[in-house]
Amino acid sequence: MNTNNREIERKFLVAKLPEGLENYRHFNIKQGYISTDPTIRLRQRDDEYILTVKGAAHANGLDRAEFELPLSKEQFEKLWDKVETGTIDKKRYIIPLDDAHTAELDIYSGVLDGFMNVEVEFSSLKDAVLFDAPSWFGAEVTEDRRYSNASLVKYGIPVK
């Protein structure tokens, strides 16, 4: 099934981990990039395989076009040979915030070991602008491209 979406999200660093982290649903993620400009990403999330193409962020920095295509394990493995960057390994926790919002907390391992960030996706730009981040969120880095996964895999964790 092909999906063609508009992704509206805000990204933050993590000030402190939320309580009871082990109680939240989580996934192991491995990803690499066939290209970082344009963004063409391969991702394995547990036993799920996905090819993603992302458009450039709009001027507001919050939204961009995104196309996802599910892959078979065999397709993923053939395409994985085309990855031009290093790889990202992380554990993603799905943390409900309220009736409308869910945080996706990523804790990285491997070359980005110890780095953490959190993203929240929104149904509209208005909703994104009005969102009040919980106290465990750190500094917002939505518009700082150095914190995109494509940049992290190429250049490492930014020096503040």
Q: Is residue 110 part of a domain?
A: yes
Write down the pLDDT at residue 134.
96
Cα separation, 152 vs 159, whole angstroms: 11
Domain coverage including residue 30: 3-155
CATH number at residue 19: 2.40.320.10
Quote the number of domains for the chain: 1
Residue 67 three-state SS: strand
Give the helix/strand (H/E) hosting 75.
Answer: helix 73-80
Q: What are the strands, taking DSSP E only, across 22-74?
A: 25-36, 39-45, 48-54, 63-71
pTM of the model: 0.88
Q: Catalytic residue among 33, 93, 108, 147, which?
A: 33
In-domain check, residue 160: no
Asked about 108 being catalytic, the answer comes back as no
Give the pLDDT confidence score for residue 92 in this predicted structure: 97
Taking 50 as the pLDDT cut, the residues of the chain under it are 1-2
